[in-house]
Amino acid sequence: MANVVVVGSQWGDEGKGKIVDWLSEQADIVVRFQGGHNAGHTLVIDGKTYKLSLLPSGVVRPNKLSVIGNGVVVDPRALVDEIDRLTAMGVAVTPDNLRIAENASLILSLHRDLDAIRESSTTGTRIGTTKRGIGPAYEDKVGRRAIRVMDLADTDGLMLKIDRLLAHHNALRRGLDLKEIDGKDIYNELVELAPRVLPYMDTIWSLLDEKRREGKRILFEGAQGALLDVDHGTYPFVTSSNTVAAQAATGSGLGPGAIGYVLGICKAYTTRVGEGPFPTEQDNDIGKLIGERGHEFGTVTGRPRRCGWFDAVLVRQTVRTSGINGIALTKLDILDGFKEIKVCVRYRLDGREIDYLPASERAQARVEPVYETVEGWPDGTAGARSWADLPAQAIKYVRWIEELIGCPVALLSTSPKREDTILVQNPFEA
């Protein structure tokens, strides 16, 4: 019985919500291990749509324990708002089905302000963040000045930690000609929210170790995609945390030996939100058509996603950096009706061909895709639930992708409906 990590193997938005929901039905525990409320998951269950940003996908299913690990940065106000929104939809969120790591760092209003100021600046590099304070919160975490969930329970010592935090932030604000922050305002903000957050607090590393020893199935749910990893992604156009599979262990407190299977999620084409390199982007009618068919708009921001052909070089690279055992290929149906479909099989950089994405920002901007073309399929794949339902050319496309990325397809998704899934290998039984 394998504990499963789900990671995006492109730049995020690969359709993790549906796959995680499909897997969460078999899991006992669903764990978020990195990121914050900057990544949205859309779940459709019994015709009802749930949009989650911070809470693990398992929270909408009965008899599942959802866990927010220490690798996540938690905005307490966003947490409370999301809980209230789900409650209004008839989903009970209580300490019986949600636990939050006591050592998770908090996102405060000053983090959101700083994030927005940076993104709105006319100088420096615009990353294309969601302006939700994720990056500044992680900066404070590694700078050893963060306020953590457990600090909400120690109001006597809270002000000292706020002063330590503001020694840094008020210096920044003076340099930006902004009004300094009064620590009492932060204190009052946190004291107000503490009673809504503290009931969920727990020692997560111990809880998960106990559940693992009991033989419970654990599903680790990643946010964003591996190409947004702060170390292995398209730096500096990345998120502020590690998004590769190894972070599931670090961000939850369980050792890497607890991970049995890594499932990578990728679309049958490629999308990206925000700034940064995108070798196969189609800034033309093809890209527009893919975006319209795929309803490619961000769950959190509503921003239109940049669209392009499948990039086998990038996915092959993330298969390696995340140790992916199998791929869940999503949105195959969006390619229905194309006469021909292109796939990037390698790059050309300064006149020579390479089979990987270089780490250099300037080199990433110069790489040119080398395409190979396969015949499309006129018949539809939408709603297919077995290989027999697929056109021969669609099967050929899937097999070609497997060969190019060096990884088998474990699941194939042919529509947003969870039942429209072709199962090749169940990750929990691998």
pLDDT in tens, 340-394: 999 999 999 999 999 999 999 999 999 999 999 999 999 899 999 999 999 999 9
Average pLDDT, the chain: 93
pLDDT in tens, 393-409: 999 999 999 999 999 99
pLDDT value of residue 129:
66
pLDDT band at 127 (very low <50, low <70, confident <90, very high): low
pLDDT value of residue 226:
96
pLDDT in tens, 197-224: 999 999 999 999 999 999 999 999 988 8
Task: Assess whether pLDDT exceeds 60 at residue 122.
Answer: no
Instruction: Answer whether 72's CB lies under 8 Å from 40's CB.
Output: no
pLDDT value of residue 4:
97
Flag the least confident range among 60-64, 252-256, 296-300, 333-337: 296-300
pLDDT value of residue 250:
97
Task: Assess whether pLDDT exceeds 60 at residue 164.
Answer: yes
- Threshold 0.85, pTM exceeds: yes
| More confident call, 127 vs 379 | 379
Q: Mean pLDDT across the stretch 140-146?
A: 97
Q: Catalytic residue numbers?
A: 13, 41
CA atoms of 266 and 268, how far apart (whole Å): 7
